[in-house]
Amino acid sequence: MFHSQNSTLMSKTYTQAPLPFMGQKRRWNKEFKAALLKEFGDCHTFVDLFGGSGLLSHFTHTVRPDATIIYNDYDNYSQRLAAIPTTNALLRDLREILKGYPDLKRIEEPVRSQVISKIAEYDQRGYLDYVTLSASIVFSGRYVTSLAELQKDTLYNTLRQSDYTADGYLDGLTIVHQDYRRLFRKYQNQDGVCFLIDPPYLSTQATTYTGYWKLRDYLDVLHTLHDTNYFYFTSEKSSILELCEWLDDEYQTGNPFKGATRIDYATNLNYSAGFIDIMLYKHQPTERRNAA
């Protein structure tokens, strides 16, 4: 367990994660803050079971600096943050190679080989953050995780022109690296605890857990909702809410979302396509939880 230096008064508030991350919750800042202050004032510990980019943990700390925030660095995001100096140095070298090269254009030979060679040079020195690098040389929205993947991919000049910074981003957080089930059991029966639950999307690669995040994995997370204080994030694509309602109607299994407040956020991908992200939260009075 690592306790990040607490310098709340000096740290800036980030409204989005400092490095690229798929699925970060920046669009929820306003609604999340309002619910946090209105409903969870008696909670003194917030456990971010699937910490992701750390944005929820960071934002919770800025809103509730008096509370203990447990950031489960499920995706080793802190390793990527620690590599920012190397990432910035590499990007500066790539800017020299691509100087004068058309923006947003496919990188052709011989420049492509020069780019790959420079990246390979950095790769040999140690850890390289390929996810962040992908945002500058791979088609928008795609990520590679190794030199081998990058060599097979088509490269584009989408190079970032400024350095990354994450000063103070993890300040005040307690950082752990654990299976979410183990972490949940540790805090499950403690009073004044609220769980932040943002599991990986269904049928997607989960870097810490072997293989794809399947339906059973997704359903197992529902155990963290029984008789707990929680914020839970999902989308209409998962159909998890409809499934729980149906099971409760048909088999009286108990719906862990019953009584939770739901807020939808519509995102338009283009003029004809979009999706709805969903935040649910539920506060259980201590006496009710103890009775249960």
- Amino acid (one-letter) located at 135: A
Give the span between the Cα atoms of 49 and 27, in whole angstroms: 19
State percent of the chain over pLDDT 70: 86
Q: Which residue has the tokens 């991350």?
A: 21
Report field, pTM of the whole predicted structure over 0.85: yes
| 210 confidence band (pLDDT: 50, 70, 90) | very low
pLDDT over 50 (residue 10): no
At 12, list the tokens: 């800036």
Can you tell me the mean pLDDT for 256-282?
84
So where are the chain's domains?
2-19+26-79+167-291, 80-152
Give the span between the Cα atoms of 97 and 269, in whole angstroms: 33
pLDDT over 80 (residue 205): no
Our CA angle for 233, 234, 239, nearest 5°, is 150
pLDDT over 70 (residue 5): no
At the second CATH level, the architecture of 2-19+26-79+167-291 is 3-Layer(aba) Sandwich (3.40)
Question: Range with the lowest mean pLDDT among 76-90, 126-140, 228-242?
Answer: 228-242
Give the residue from 182, 208, 190, 205 showing the smallest Cα distance to 77: 208
Structure confidence at residue 214 (pLDDT):
79
Q: Which residue has the tokens 């004068």?
A: 100
- DSSP three-state, residue 45: strand
Can you tell me the mean pLDDT for 281-287?
83
Structure confidence at residue 115 (pLDDT):
98
| 164 confidence band (pLDDT: 50, 70, 90) | very high
- DSSP three-state, residue 161: coil
Residue 144 or 288, more confident: 144
Q: Determine if the peptide bond prior to 285 is cis (ω within 30°).
A: no
Mean pLDDT of the chain: 88
Question: Range with the lowest mean pLDDT among 40-44, 260-264, 269-273?
Answer: 269-273
Can you tell me the mean pLDDT for 33-50?
96
Q: Which residue has the tokens 């709805």?
A: 276
Residue 219 or 2, more confident: 219
Structure confidence at residue 50 (pLDDT):
94
CA count, 13 A, side-chain hemisphere, 107: 27
Can you tell me the mean pLDDT for 4-19?
69
